[in-house]
Amino acid sequence: MFKKNIYKGLGFVLICLAYTACKVPQVAQRIENKNVPGSYNTSVDTLSSGKVQWRQFFTDPNLVSLIDTALKNNQELNITLQEIEIAKNEIRARKGELLPSVGYRVGAGFEKVGRYTSSGAGDASTDITPGKEVPDVLPDYQFGLQANWEADIWHKLRNAKKAALTRYLSTVEGKNFVVTNLVAEIANTYYELLAQDNQLEIVKKNIALQSNALELMKIQKQATRVTELAVRKFEAEVLSSKSLEFDIQQQITESENKINFLLGRYPQPIVRDKTSFTDLVPPTIQAGIPAQLLANRPDIKQAEYDLAASKLDVKVAKAQFYPSLGISATLGYQAFNPSYLLRTPESLAYSLAGDLAGPLINKNAIKAEYLTANAKQLQAVFNYEKSILNGYMEVANQLSNISNLQKSYDLKYKQVQALTQSIDIANDLFKSTRADYFEVLMTQRDALQSKLELIETKKQQLNAVVNVYHALGGGWN
């Protein structure tokens, strides 16, 4: 009869297991797309500048020194490094869940039970010491070890540990992405600062030129060759250029402070060579093939690790539907009198128990967690696909930008040469009364604008090279 009841109990457990397994909700999974075009619509070359170390890519010693300082002091980077430490601790916690937990327990207390209860009657009839009755208020002293362990039947704990490890690798790639962004931002701001220095120098030279023209207008007015209107026009132009000078000085201050902020320090002058900006030649970029983005770009690798972790999270959530097997054990001593506490085997107490527990009815919370894990997995898939698409677009846009900026720079350089020559021509024509003051004024204004635009285009060229280097995944290694 006893065996028959055992078989009935086992049969009921198996039915519960089968029911639980059949009721696990199924969510359609989307397979991520790793297919990328074979090229960037340019010549195919397997060499990628994204693999070049930033120390080799940037040759300006002042810029290299700034980047070195930023990699040590930047607050955002240091915050990311702490996220890596947090992820390491998460791995340690998940690993600990796989092992038995052993602890100690020391306790003391007392209890008064009613005499006419089963416990009270049993205590009253107990004769431990001849001639002495068990006291009504019964103390209780105990100490010993306790152990608990969950058997990882469905790999729930193992998958949780793997997910934590994968997220740790994701945080490492996140740190690399922060480094890539930091290097690119410092380089771009540095080139902007050099461009502003050169624009300021051009404006100062132009102010001197305009001041000379203003003095000429005053002399011409005294000779009644021009009116007061011409003098006022040239005076207004000088004032406009001086106002522009202060605007550029403010931009320089802000650029310097931006670099200092990225370097994690308070405002101070940025060491730089202001004279060689126009002679800078942008480094040659090797785009490589788009498939290399999957290995070079930290944000794509981070998205891939996040996707792998989300898959493991789904497995962990799915395992919640199945029963868990827990084993617990205790070993120690327990007695109502301290003098009896270490008597063996009378005061020796131990236990060993195993329990199998699982959900049967009203599993809405577990279902919700499982569906949430599936939704997050789909989010990770879309984010991974978006990262690949975004990386390809960034490289393609910057490669096109480099080509177009080079053509634009060549044309603007010729424009500057032509307008610079036209200033002398306009002045000569004005002296010979073959041109009026307005033509001289407009020629000077156009020449200034073209020189500023030439500097701006040079800066955009250098920024485009930095951006494509960043888009290819360079700068973190």
- Establish if 126 belongs to a structural domain: no
Q: What is the rounded (10 degree) CA torsion for 148, 151, 156, 159?
A: 90
Which one-letter DSSP state was computed for residue 65?
Answer: H
pLDDT score of 461: 94
Average of per-residue pLDDT across 255-278: 93
Q: Give residue 477's pLDDT band: very low, low, confident or very high (50, 70, 90).
A: confident
The DSSP result for 440-458, as a single string, is: HHHHHHHHHHHHHHHHHHH
Q: Are 210 and 233 in contact (CB under 8 A)?
A: no
Number of domains comprising the chain = 1
Q: What is the mean pLDDT of the chain?
A: 87
Q: Give residue 32's pLDDT band: very low, low, confident or very high (50, 70, 90).
A: low
Average of per-residue pLDDT across 245-249: 96
Which one-letter DSSP state was computed for residue 282?
Answer: P
How far apart (Å, rounded) are the C-alpha atoms in residues 436 and 114?
A: 121
394: domain CATH number? Answer: 1.20.1600.10
- Establish if 466 belongs to a structural domain: yes
Has residue 174 got a pLDDT over 90? yes
The stretches of 74-117 forming alpha helices (DSSP H) are: 75-98
Q: Give residue 221's pLDDT band: very low, low, confident or very high (50, 70, 90).
A: confident
pLDDT score of 348: 92
pLDDT score of 2: 43
The DSSP result for 300-344, as a single string, is: HHHHHHHHHHHHHHHHHHHHTTS-EEEEEEEEEEEESSGGGTT-T
Least confident piece of the model among 79-88, 137-146, 452-461: 137-146
Has residue 345 got a pLDDT over 60? yes
Q: Give residue 30's pLDDT band: very low, low, confident or very high (50, 70, 90).
A: low
Q: What is the pLDDT of residues 411-463, one digit of tens each?
A: 999 999 998 898 888 888 877 777 777 888 888 889 899 999 999 999 999 99
The phi and psi torsions of 110 (rounded to 5 degrees) equal -145, 160
- Establish if 9 belongs to a structural domain: no
Average of per-residue pLDDT across 319-332: 93
Least confident piece of the model among 4-8, 165-169, 262-266: 4-8
Sign (positive or negative) of CA dihedral 230, 231, 234, 236 = negative
Higher pLDDT, 173 or 136: 173
pLDDT score of 127: 63
Has residue 186 got a pLDDT over 60? yes
- Residue 259 structure tokens: 């670099």
- Establish if 17 belongs to a structural domain: no
pLDDT score of 33: 55
Which one-letter DSSP state was computed for residue 99?
Answer: S
pLDDT score of 17: 52
Provide long-range contacts, Cβ within 8 A and 24+ apart, for 237-244: 237/210, 237/441, 237/444, 237/445, 238/207, 238/210, 238/211, 238/214, 241/203, 241/206, 241/207, 241/210, 241/448, 242/207, 244/203
Q: What is the rounded (10 degree) CA torsion for 437, 440, 443, 448?
A: -100
Average of per-residue pLDDT across 266-274: 93
pLDDT score of 183: 97
Has residue 1 got a pLDDT over 70? no
Sign (positive or negative) of CA dihedral 111, 112, 113, 115 = positive
Q: What is the pLDDT of residues 362-417, one digit of tens each?
A: 889 999 999 999 999 999 999 999 999 999 999 999 999 998 999 999 999 999 99
Which one-letter DSSP state was computed for residue 281?
Answer: -
- Establish if 106 belongs to a structural domain: no
pLDDT score of 124: 67
Q: Are 84 and 175 in contact (CB under 8 A)?
A: yes
Residue range of the domain that includes 274: 31-100+155-322+360-471
Q: What is the chain's Cα-based Rg?
A: 39
Has residue 126 got a pLDDT over 50? yes
How far apart (Å, rounded) are the C-alpha atoms in residues 466 and 57?
A: 9
- Establish if 74 belongs to a structural domain: yes
